[in-house]
Structure 1
Amino acid sequence: MKAERTRSQERILKLLKSLNKAISAQDIYVELRNRNQSVGLATVYRALEALKLEGVVQVRTLASGESLYSSVQQDKHHLTCLQCGRSIAINQCPVHDLETQLHQAHQFKIFYHTLEFFGLCNQCQMAQATGVGAE
């Protein structure tokens, strides 16, 4: 039997769905305070972990180590520049068939997947070639 969500979990999930973008735990904490729905930062982290294990929130860890949370709406795929941190969403998904195969072969319940490529964006490549710092 699935446990009932706490009020904090419901608030966080509602916030993530309304924002429709990935956001850090600290930003969730600040946004809830701005909306007069204060919860402690530790509570935000606990709620995010529970929602992640329920399969309704996904986490994406950037090259900097920062974790961004979003509601699970569709699989996310990105090209991320290691120099400037710019992240470009890509819409193609070469792993949907693999996901189905893994689910069938291992009876593994997959909530979502992410696919991320790390490298240098065009601007950073050009800056590197000319020896000028990129922004």
Structure 2
Amino acid sequence: MKAQRTRSQDRILNLLKALNRSVSAQDIYIELRHHNQGMGLATVYRSLEALKLEGVIQVRTLNSGESLYSCVQQDKHHLTCLQCGASIGIDECPVHQLETELQKSHSFKIYYHTLEFFGLCDRCVTEISC
């Protein structure tokens, strides 16, 4: 039986739907305060964790260690520059078939997956080679 969401979880989920982009927990905290729906930062983190475990939001951790949260959408894949932090979205997904196989073979419910490649963007490669 699925636990019922708290008011804080509903507020955060509604905010993420409205923003329609990935944001940090700190950004969520600030946005809620701007909308007169303030809550403690610890509550924001607890609510995000519960929503993640429910499978309705996803988290992406940047190479800086910052976590970005968004509603579960289509799979997102990125090329991330280790020098400047630029992140380029890519549309191709080579792991959809693997995901299906893993769900069947391990009786494991997969909510989403991420695929990220780390390296240097064109601009940073040029700066390093100069």
The answer, yes or no, to whether TM exceeds 0.5 is yes
Q: Which residue is equivalent to 1:91? A: 91
Local SS of the residue matching 1:49: helix
Q: After the TM superposition, which segments of 4 or more aligned residues of structure 1 sit over 2 Å from their partners?
A: none
- Partner SS for 1:43: helix
Alpha-carbon RMSD across the aligned residues, in angstroms, is: 0.5
Give the unaligned 5+ runs of structure 1: 131-135
Q: Given the two structures, how large is their TM-score scaled by the length of structure 2?
A: 0.99
Structure 2 residue matching 1:103: 3-state secondary structure: helix
In the alignment, the residues of structure 1 paired with residue 12 and residue 93 of structure 2 have an alpha-carbon distance, to the nearest angstrom, of 28
How many residues of Structure 1 are paired with residues of Structure 2 in the alignment?
130
Which residue identity is paired with 1:124? Answer: C
2:8 & 2:89 partners in 1: Cα distance? 30
Q: Distance in 1 between matches of 2:14 and 2:95?
A: 29
Aligned to 2:115: 115
2:75 and 2:14 map into 1 onto residues whose CA distance is 19
The alignment partner of 1:73 has SS state of coil
| Structure 1 residue 74, shift from structure 2 partner | 1.2
SS in 2 for 1:65: coil
Cα deviation, 1:97-121, whole Å, max 9, x if unaligned, reads 0000000100000000000000000
- Identity of aligned pairs, percent? 73
C-alpha distance in structure 2 between counterparts of 1:28 and 1:75, whole Å: 22
Amino acid at match of 2:19: L
Deviation at 1:73, TM superposition (A): 1.5
1:14 is the counterpart of 2:11: no
Counterpart-to-counterpart distance in 2, 1:71 and 1:6: 17
Residue 128 of structure 2 is matched in structure 1 by: 128
Q: Which amino acid aligns with 2:94?
A: P
CA distance in 2: counterparts of 1:74 and 1:9, whole angstroms: 22
TM-score of the superposed pair, with normalisation by structure 1: 0.95
For the residue of structure 1 that corresponds to 2:115, the secondary structure is strand
